[in-house]
Structure 1
Amino acid sequence: MATRTRRPERREEPLSRQRIVEAAIGLLDTAGEGALTFRALAERLATGPGAIYWHVTGKDELLNAATDAVIATMTADTTSTAGTAAATPQEAIRTLALGVFDAIDAHPWIGTQLARAPSQSPLLRVFEHLGRHIQTLGVPHPAQFTAATALLNYILGVGGQNAANARGHHQHTSRTEFLDTTATSWANLDPDEYPFTRNVADQLRHHDDRTEFLAGLDLILTGITTRHSPIDPTPS
């Protein structure tokens, strides 16, 4: 009796740019940027690489589209949350910043992509929203660019470093074990050469990344509001 050859599963949905981007995000989250190839993506989508090229011209465009999809969803969610809560500009900035921080934590590859393409739409979305809140805060026009870029650089820098740390220590040990080992190393440094580092070793051991991120953000916001108090338009 002849054996039937099982045919490969056919796609139930037509291939679209959105489906390709969603599949790319899943591949990036599970295996990282190095694993994102059109061949691997074609296997996930049960299609051929040529069909993907019909919608996306190359890996750079795909990475940008994947980053933009995550950031667009995040900014929409945080803007909606801030708006319904009647938030102050400071609260809106905290919400936006924490949204980016959490997005980078959930999708570590995003931090690299945002830093790599400053002129692309994903980064501009974040910069635009920060700038609007800075304007609402009453920062004078000549200082708005500096304030917005200072916040953006802090958010991307800390978010990216946090994601890099997570990738590094999760390969070999838990976060708690990693921090405990590092804190112990700090505590045993030369007291004359590293007095401050030794003194804060226990704080490293027990710190929460999100709490520290927001505390640093508040330091910057306090500096912005202290240096650039809103101008009172009412004549004296």
Structure 2
Amino acid sequence: MEAVLTEAVALLDEAGDSALTFRALAARLGGGVGSIYWYVASKDELLDRATDHVVGQLLSDVQERTNGDDPVDDLRVLALMMFDAIVARPWLGAYFMRNSLLQPNTLRLYDLLGQQVLRLELTPRQSFHAVSAVVGFTVGTAADLGQEPPQEILDGRVGREEYLARFADMWRALDPDEYPYVHQIADEFAHHDDADQFRAGLDLLLAGLRQQAGR
């Protein structure tokens, strides 16, 4: 199973979930397609187990980073590491925490996030909402960034800065009385860093959690 999952993750990393077929996987393993069915019953199960395989390493890494005195700071570290893992593997976001029966490591990671919130002594509902907000924002933002960029950027015909500048210029040309917000942030948008934008949003979310916990 370890070899199957290692090669499945390699295929996913190289070309996404469309590249992960039992035929392609069997070819990499040097066996027949039928041999894959000894380990998994379907591609969906394989994707869930491959996700859990990756999250297992992430879990090992984050467990060493959550022994601080401030649970909100530890929660931030966990969210940042989750974000980096999903951005590095664009396919991961679609299957992250999809099936806890086939993803025990993902469930452990989810519980580890919750353990930091438990230290804040919130109500069960507040704790559930807090973890849901952090997971939803982190996974959703990372998955969005993992989407394939426009073809002209992939081809190298246009750089990221030039691509963003097009929209910023379009916004600057709009009537500022009708579109005051996009007018104000056009320059920021043109030169923004996606990871920095995520960290800023996460800090806003965690500041609200800290205030709710009276810290």
TM range, normalised to the smaller chain? 0.7 to 0.9
Matches within 5 A, 1:1-236: 17-83=1-67, 86=68, 88-114=70-96, 117=98, 119-120=100-101, 121=103, 123-164=106-147, 167-169=148-150, 170-172=153-155, 173-229=158-214
SS in 2 for 1:183: helix
Query: Is the 1:101–1:159 contact (alpha carbons within 8 Å) kept by the matching residues of 2?
Result: yes
Q: Tell me by how many angstroms 1:204 deviates.
A: 1.3
Cα 1:174–1:128 shift into 2, 3 Å: farther
**Unaligned stretches of 5+ residues in structure 2:** none
Cα 1:93–1:174 shift into 2, 3 Å: farther
Distance 2:22 2:49 in 1: 14
Deviations 1:33-59 (A, max 9, x none): 111100111111121111111112211
Could you say which structure has the larger radius of gyration? 1
**Unaligned stretches of 5+ residues in structure 1:** 1-16, 231-236
RMSD over equivalenced CA pairs, Å: 2.0
Distance 1:87 1:23 in 2: 39
SS in 2 for 1:41: helix
SS in 2 for 1:200: helix
Query: Is the 1:108–1:160 contact (alpha carbons within 8 Å) kept by the matching residues of 2?
Result: yes
Identity %: 39
Cα 1:74–1:185 shift into 2, 3 Å: farther
Query: Is the 1:24–1:36 contact (alpha carbons within 8 Å) kept by the matching residues of 2?
Result: yes
Provide TM-score, normalisation by structure 1: 0.81
Q: Tell me by how many angstroms 1:118 deviates.
A: 5.4
Deviations 1:159-187 (A, max 9, x none): 111112xx123524443333233323332
Provide TM-score, normalisation by structure 2: 0.88
